[in-house]
Amino acid sequence: MTIRTPERIVGEGAQVGRSMPRVDAGEKLRGEARYVGDMSVPGMLHGKVLRSPFPHARIISIDVSAALALPGVVAVLTGEDTLDIDPYWGHAIKDRPIVAIGEVRFVGEPVAAVAAEDEATAEAALAEIVVEYEELPVVGTLDDALAADAPLVHDGPIRPGLFHGLGTLPDRDGNICYRYGFERGSVDEVFEQAEIVVEGEYTFPGVYQYAMETHSVIAQWEGGEVTLWATCQHPFLVRAEIAALFDLPLGRVRIIVPYLGGGFGSKSYTKMEPITVALARKAGRPVRIVNRVDESMVTTRRHGAKTWMRTAADRSGRLLAREARVWFDTGAYADNGPRVTATGADSAPGPYRWSGVRVEASCVHTHTAPSGSYRAFGASHVQWAGELQVDEVARRAGIDPVEIRRLNLLTPGEQVRPGGKPLDADLIGDIRKVADALGWDEPREPGIGRGISVGLLAAGAHPVSSAIVRLEADGEAIVLVGSTEMGQGQRTAFAQIAAEVLAMPAERIRCQGTDTRFTPYDRSTGASRSTTLAGLAVQRAAAEVRADLMEIAGKVWPDAGDAVELRDGAAWWKGERRSYPELIARRFGLSGGQLIGEGGVHPEGTGSYAEGPVFWEVCIGAAEVHVDRETGVVSVRRTATVADVGTAINPLLVERQDEGATMQGIGNALLEEMVYREGMLLNDSLLDYRIPTIEDLPPEQVCVIVENADGPGPFGAKGCGEGAFAGIIAAIATAVADAGVRVDELPLTPERVWRSSQGQPKEDAKG
């Protein structure tokens, strides 16, 4: 496999002629990796969860007496043990019980939990719990859920969670828990007069965000305080959720996050923490729960979606109007469904100049596992459908796919959505770069298809981050920031940012993991926000320390004024040098003390969703595929992505992000699908659920890094890593269509491709 990399390692820094300190990707991780599933605390018990075997059933009775009689079993938790509090949680909608109360709504829902002295005893105790169920009607698919006579997954009023951030939630409408949409222009009139209209329905399956480390939590309830060691991406949001759930002050809930073995959104918001805390509270001792892979697959997944879309254009290829209706399968509980729905609706028009747009998106309950975040959510669900239609318009108009995009894409400063931030990227320049990197104009062999895709993702989430930089008396610095390291290399990037501002080697800067008792607040880790927002907080905190150093240096050399230079961990003037330890000793009068800087980021306006996003992440990809019509096998031969990052703090990490996104995009486009039948997940293991391996990667990958210093983050940076994911899924879909195969359902398995190429009905190709 050939991976092209830029010659340059570093981006433009704050000081003219100086580059960011060079740090290899991952250098800050050596010797520090620690995972919750491998940890132990004194007196810790092993927890196991009994899960529902039915997608929908009433719980008649639960008998735990035989389980409690086993030697070594300390506690068994059921729904009755949570009735002294309001036992429902959920950051968007408060709809999910800690343990099932009276009813189960999906296969895998926790019904009881056991805490025992060892794992084997806990497992044996589960087998001794007797649960009597009465099966109830199942809403297994979106079509089932939207039927006029569909059984309700939930009834009663919607209770807003702590962090949905989407304004007033609407009333429940059958199995629809949230709607989002917008309209501008005379849509119907444009379609009536359009010379070209492309219309279709598209299906995107539920997908598992497979991370190497499963969901793992250790909970300790002691003296009215809770300590959690948890695999969570958003520790401060989890802290708030646990505090509210168990009626505790925020300061009495402590979340410690070691390294995560991957997340991809699967560990966003709260997951296994409530049940672990409740079990520890009942047992009176610390409890650890570590999911198996099949248990994590029913803890969270990516939304399945169904999209109806139509696009209007004239004969010259000018795009005129788009209308889309999208339904997201959020499963039994809302999780992050409302946010996914809103983001998907925003992505549906694509970054094009329209005379009219109408989008309606719905978040729908079914009796399946709850759906949450997964890399580039929303954009990945709908971009491929929209880009297929743009390509079809190009075919009918006789225009090259690159050219039709050049004619219709928004340009910097144009409005993307009403009231939102204008476009902050050069999309036309980006698509030309990615097309050239793929070899768009090169001759093609039989069976070869080439595809290109472009989209936008509302990135950054809520812009609240804070950081502390502490320069110690020996000249080493510590960065405290609440963003979670899960393999993306952010601690390396934070060290580089602080090192650039402080003019010192990045190797002398340590970035600590999150501990909510000591680490300053950070809203979350996701939405490509860490380098942009937490990194900006680090830059501002380091700038305060830098100002202190300059102030002390001014007292050493009163006549120097602004001529003092900071470099290589020291202040310089006229050939004289004072190291940072010397300056700190000057401030405090001894070889002790420290300089501390604080930095923060907060919304400049009201912080509403409509005013955002922090930045528009570019979702651009290109792919070359070979389609074997005899077997239906699609082989990806080449890919190219654009990382439009403003300023690349660490280009090697940028490339690794896009390579990972490419690999996952190939999986989503060609391989991955959670197959349900009547609410039952049929492929809940990695033997049956296939993810891409090294053999599935193309022989050649290219990551084009674009730096225009136009981002809101440190040194003009903006985040990356999600856009390439949505871009590659759509690029593979358009490439297969370019090879002559009709595409309207993912993944593009050999059977589906073969049936489409042979004109066979697709109904038999499911799974």
Residues that are catalytic: 722
Per the CB < 8 A criterion, the answer to whether 724 and 662 are in contact is: yes
DSSP-derived letter for residue 693 is -
User: Is the four-CA dihedral 437, 441, 446, 449 of positive or negative sign?
Assistant: positive
Q: How far is CA 368 from the centre of its chain?
A: 21
Q: 470 forms bridges with which residues in the sheet?
A: 478, 596
Helix (H, G, I), strand (E, B) or coil at 364: strand
Q: Which of 494, 496, 499 is nearest to 537 (CA)?
A: 494
In sequence order, the 6+-apart residues with CB closer than 8 A to the CB of 622 are 434, 435, 437, 438, 440, 450, 451, 452, 453, 639, 640, 641, 727, 731
**Separation between Cα atoms, residue 346 and residue 181, nearest integer Å:** 8
**Separation between Cα atoms, residue 646 and residue 718, nearest integer Å:** 6
Segments in 615-722 forming alpha helices (H): 651-666
Question: Could you tell me the strand order of the sheet in which 615-627 lies?
Answer: 2-4, 700-706, 634-644, 615-627, 448-459
Give rounded-to-5 percent helix, strand, coil for the chain: 30, 30, 40
Half-sphere exposure of 331 (CA within 13 A, CB side): 35
Per the CB < 8 A criterion, the answer to whether 394 and 401 are in contact is: yes
Q: Which two three-digit tokens encode residue 367?
A: 């009796």
Q: 304 forms bridges with which residues in the sheet?
A: 329
Write out the DSSP string of 37-81: GG---TTPEEEEEEE-SSSSEEEEEEE-HHHHTSTTEEEEE-GGG
For residue 450, the surrounding DSSP H or E stretch is: strand 448-459
Tell me, letter by letter, the H, E, C secondary structure of 301-355.
EECEEEEEEEEEECCCCCEEEEEEEEEEEEECCCCCHHHHHHHHHHHCCCCECCC
Pairing of strands 253-257, 2-4: unpaired
DSSP-derived letter for residue 172 is P
**Separation between Cα atoms, residue 458 and residue 454, nearest integer Å:** 14
**How many other β-carbons are positioned within 10 Å of the β-carbon of residue 559?**
8
Pairing of strands 594-601, 576-579: unpaired
Residue 595 to residues 300, 473, 487, 553, 560, Cα–Cα distance (Å): 43, 8, 30, 14, 22
Per the CB < 8 A criterion, the answer to whether 268 and 526 are in contact is: yes
Q: Which two three-digit tokens encode residue 621?
A: 């990809």
Per the CB < 8 A criterion, the answer to whether 405 and 431 are in contact is: yes
CA dihedral 182, 164, 262, 541 (to 10 degrees): 100
Helix (H, G, I), strand (E, B) or coil at 760: coil
